[in-house]
Chain A
Amino acid sequence: MAALVWESSKEGAGGFWEVVTSPQAVAALKLSLGAAAVVALVNAVVGTVIAWVLVRDEFPGKSIVNSIIDLPFALPTIVAGLTLLALYGPTSPVGINVAFTRTAIVLALLFVTLPFVVRTVQPVLLELDKEMEEAARSLGASERVVFTRVVLPNILPGILSGVALAFARAVGEIGSLVIISGSLPYKTEVASVYILTRIEGGDRAGAAAVAVVLLVVSFAVILGIGILRHFATRHEAALEER
């Protein structure tokens, strides 16, 4: 199974550079990375807000909302893509038609990555010692300062690992995009679809080259999360030794 990882690089060694810098490949990669970055950032903010509301507020139907957050995890991506097409495509009941555009891609990715930041921030928020916030208040800090200097630094690792996972997922996403993106080269073709088309067209080297790039990105993300975990628990390291 581990050989899985090696194989791509091997095949791609040959015409790697040429393929990777071919305009179509570059366009596809740019689109994937760009869309993923946008989505990751939006999630960082929206996801944190949602997590905050779910942890700190009470409202009727809260537990239902909490559970629905996981829907994108449970739903097959192709189904998600199809229904987004129905909602936001040519026959849209809401009158929005963004099918086959970059907006559609971003929308699909937002749907698919919604749970990530929420679910990594929630446990951190739950564990956060409320007394730290109270202490800050008693020491004279305004609500804004309490958030920026006390809450945020402590939930940041949670946000960052959620963002990293969301980014990785968005970069490699395929199921929800095949239909709704339309896969127009240079316009709405994401890297994963590019790879798929190359394979089906017999251009294995081309596919492998771009795949390697995605692979590197994935590794970078994993590395990032690992470093984050280590960094975040640095504060608590001493605790364990006691």
Chain B
Amino acid sequence: MLIGPLAMVFWRTFEHGADAAWNALTQPETIHAFKLTLLIAAIAVPLNTVFGVVAALAIVRRRFPGKGLLNAYIDLPLALSPVVVGLSLFLLYGRDGWFGGWLERNGIDVLFALPAMVLATVFVSLPFVAREVVPTLREIGDEQEQAAKTLGASGWQTFRRITLPAIRWAVVYGVVLTTARCLGEYGAVAVVSGRIQGETETATLRVEERYDSFDLAGAYAISLVLAVVAVLVLVAMIVIKPREESG
């Protein structure tokens, strides 16, 4: 049930000949779509990594009012439909949205442009780093950090030399999951992007576009690329997971 789809993509792509596949892939709009996807990921992943680590540290090591809320908030993107996320952004930043009016008057394009897509992707891929780091942080306990402090290390030094190496693999694993999510995002970006070919179309959106245009070979070709990336992600997950678990 799981391997079937993968094999299918492979087959279907080349069913109509490698030429057709290559054509579809090298269309300027397609290339742009790939670039756009990568760009969004390149922005979203680092942002969420930093957020994830900071949030995890706050949740595990500190007490503060609203901690439970933060925890729940981080879990939210996992339970929320991407379309709902997209719609919320749409309503917020659209022309008569809460912020929309002000932004438009100042010539800032959010919706139907890169910023909205980045915002959407950031939100849906929010939880992964935090969720991987939290249990690891809990498990290692803060004794080592306390020891470092008694030996004179500053907060930043303690973090850099003690905490970070300890959570290293959890962070990497979280980054891999985040990246996979960013690359595969569809629903939220579909709503906020406007799907303008050559401008605001990501790879995933392009697959649908090609399908709707009856360019099956094209749709499958792009899917193949995405699937290959997914397999690479999977391999990365397989390699990293044991290291994450043994710390």
Contact = CB atoms under 8 A, between A and B. Distances in A.
Q: In the complex they form, do A and B come into direct contact, defined as C-beta atoms under 8 angstroms apart?
A: yes
A221 B79 contact: yes
Nearest to B119: A1
A110 B237 CA distance: 22
A174 B73 contact: no
Contacts of A83: 4-6, 8-9, 12, 223, 227
Nearest to A194: B83
B187 A175 contact: yes
Q: Is the interface of B mostly helix, strand, loop or mixed?
A: helix
Contacts of B151: none
B230 A76 contact: yes
B89 interface: yes
B89 A4 contact: yes
A75 B183 CA distance: 9
Interface string B76-95: 10111111111111111000
Interface residues of B, number: 58
Interface string B5-35: 1101100100000000000000000000000
Contacts, number: 190
Given A172-B82, A174-B190, A82 B211 contact: yes
A191 B85 CA distance: 14
Interface in B145-193: 177, 180, 183-187, 190-191
A87 B87 contact: no
A207 B8 CA distance: 35
Interface stretch (A15-23, A98-106, A141-149, A211-219): A211-219
B8 A78 contact: no
Contact of A78 (B1, B2, B88, B207): B207
A221 B3 CA distance: 30
Given A172-B80, A172-B84, A208 B91 contact: yes
Contacts of B190: 174, 196
Given A86-B8, A86-B9, A214-B81, A71 B230 contact: yes
A77 B3 CA distance: 15
B237 A86 contact: no
A222 B75 contact: yes
A140 B3 CA distance: 43
Nearest to B190: A196
Contact of A68 (B2, B84, B91, B186): B2
The CB with the most chain A CB atoms within 10 A, among B4, B68, B88, B233, is that of B88
Given A79-B223, A87-B4, A196-B83, A67 B184 contact: no
Contacts of B185: 76
Nearest to B205: A78
Contact of A8 (B88, B123, B223): B88
A74 B72 contact: no
Contacts of A179: 208, 211
Contacts of A82: 9, 207, 211, 219-220, 223
25 contacts: A4-B85, A11-B91, A63-B238, A71-B6, A73-B180, A78-B207, A78-B223, A86-B5, A86-B12, A86-B220, A110-B1, A111-B1, A168-B78, A172-B79, A172-B80, A172-B187, A174-B187, A175-B184, A178-B208, A199-B90, A199-B191, A215-B84, A218-B79, A218-B84, A222-B79
- Ranked 5 nearest A-B pairs via Cβ: A172-B81, A76-B184, A83-B5, A175-B186, A168-B79
Interface of A: 1-5, 7-8, 10-11, 63, 67-80, 82-84, 86-87, 93, 110-111, 114, 164-165, 168-169, 171-175, 178-179, 191-192, 195-196, 199, 204, 207-208, 211, 214-215, 218-219, 221-222, 225-226
